Amino acid sequence: MPTPDSKSAARLEGRTAIISGGGSGIGRAIAVLFARHGARVAILDLAGDDTAREIVAAGGSGVALTCDVTNQSEVAQAFARVAEEYGPLDVLVNSAGVAAVGTVETTTEDDLDRVYAVNVKGVYNCLRSGVAAMKGRGGAIVNIASVASSVGIPDRFAYSMSKGAVLTMTYSVAADYVGAGVRCNAVSPARVHTPFVDGYLASHYPGREAEMFEKLSRTQPIGRMGEPWEVAELALFLCSDAAAFITGSNFAVDGGFVSLKV
pLDDT in tens, 198-241: 887 888 788 998 998 998 898 889 999 999 999 999 999 999 99
Position 10 scores a pLDDT of 55
- For the chain, list residues with pLDDT below 50: 1-6, 9
Is 58 within 8 Å of 35 (Cβ atoms)?
yes
Listed in sequence order, the residues at least 6 apart from 220 whose beta carbon sits closer than 8 Å to its beta carbon are: 190, 191, 226, 254, 255, 256, 257
Is 159 tagged catalytic? yes
Position 6 scores a pLDDT of 47
Listed in sequence order, the residues at least 6 apart from 106 whose beta carbon sits closer than 8 Å to its beta carbon are: 155
Is 166 within 8 Å of 94 (Cβ atoms)?
yes
Position 261 scores a pLDDT of 64
Position 195 scores a pLDDT of 82
Rounded CA gap, 165 and 72, in Å? Answer: 18
Rounded CA gap, 97 and 256, in Å? Answer: 23
Position 201 scores a pLDDT of 85
DSSP character at residue 253: E
| Alpha helix stretches (DSSP H) within the chain | 25-36, 49-57, 72-86, 109-115, 122-134, 157-177, 195-204, 209-217, 228-239
User: Phi first, then psi: what are they for 117, rounded to 5°?
Assistant: -60, -45
Of the listed 159, 171, 200, 205, which one is catalytic? 159
Fill in the amino acid letter for 145. Answer: A
Q: At what angle do helices 122-134 and 157-177 cross, to 10 degrees?
A: 10
Position 204 scores a pLDDT of 78
Q: Does domain 16-190+226-252 have CATH number 3.40.710.10?
A: no
Position 260 scores a pLDDT of 87
Domain residue spans of the chain: 16-190+226-252
Q: Rounded to a whole number, what is the distance in angstroms from the first to the last CA of the chain?
A: 43
- Secondary element (H or E) of residue 94: strand 91-94
Q: Give the total residue count for the chain.
A: 262
Closest alpha carbon to 21 in 102, 112, 99? 99
Pairing of strands 182-189, 139-144: parallel
Alpha-carbon torsion, ordered 161, 164, 169, 171, to 10 deg: -160
Is 9 within 8 Å of 243 (Cβ atoms)?
no
Closest alpha carbon to 88 in 124, 129, 125? 129
Rounded CA gap, 79 and 181, in Å? Answer: 19
